[in-house]
Structure 1
Amino acid sequence: MYGSRGASASKIALSVSLCNLIGCWFGIMPVCHGAGGLAAQHRFGARYGTAVIFLGVAKILLGLLFGSSLELALDEFPETVLGALLLVAGLELAISGLKQSEEVRRSCFGQGWFILLLTAITALVHKTFIGFAAGASAVLVLNARWWAQQQFARRWQSIEE
């Protein structure tokens, strides 16, 4: 997205691991560089590292100034607003994924949609692991079918020659 300004996977992994290794001694929740939050921040105008610093400072100040009373205020925050923000973040990630390559674009309008819907619906109806297993199984079956078709086509070509 940002060309040469992008971080390497090693740097991201190192920063996440350091945050978790240091933070665990202070009782913080495990953290990650979640794509959903970054997508939402980008969608709403954040383009530089200062936006993340500003957000972090604002959160620290809110915690220091309001303490546990902030929890009561956040409990009253409308879930519909949070749902709308989550929807925007999810759509931003989906659009970004579709723009990545022609191959991704083609697969999403073919078997990709089937696998996506199968996995999502199964995970919602049952459990996340069962949804994952259903999606992974569908990928294996569809790839086995494609592989068998390729083998059949090769054998047919060798017979014709």
Structure 2
Amino acid sequence: MATVMMLKEILTTKQLEKRLGLPGGNRERMYFDFLQNPEMDDEKWLALVEYFVGRGKGLTPSGDDLLMGYLFILKLYQHKFYQVLELQLHKMNRFTTDVSWNYLSALLLGYVSSPFIELRNGLEEELPYNELNQLVKAILAIGHTSGSDSCYGLFLGVTALMGNK
């Protein structure tokens, strides 16, 4: 768990909320709070997924990227709510772009792109701070806001793993 704490520290230094491709309103804040402190409420999960999937600009909308980062962390550490999120995501393929759905469905099957594989390996190997930071920077470099959105999802997921804000 020390590496997860280090990842959270690294992500915190990136000021991700200022770099998101999503608005920063009350509704988003409510969902971000829920993702940090998830609970078993199928209706809330469905509302959250319906809100984020397809939301934002680009071939991979920001909401999708955020959920990708979040689900990646939950799956990696087998958090108790990753299957609830997966179940809701399976219903959303017609609500986003084909490119984004391909990424999401690949993640649902356990596949991710190389920057995420490298991050997973770095977390498993318990790399030192500076090397883990480089892996985060590689994800941040993806697309216009995709990297920032994905990293914010990672941050929310790590916070959920740690069980606090």
Q: Of Structure 1 and Structure 2, which has the larger fraction of its residues in helix?
A: 1
Task: Please confirm whether the aligned pair reaches a TM-score higher than 0.5, indicating the same fold.
Answer: no
User: Which structure's relative contact order is higher, taking Cα pairs within 8 Å and 6+ residues apart?
Assistant: 2
Q: TM-score scaled to structure 2, two decimals?
A: 0.30
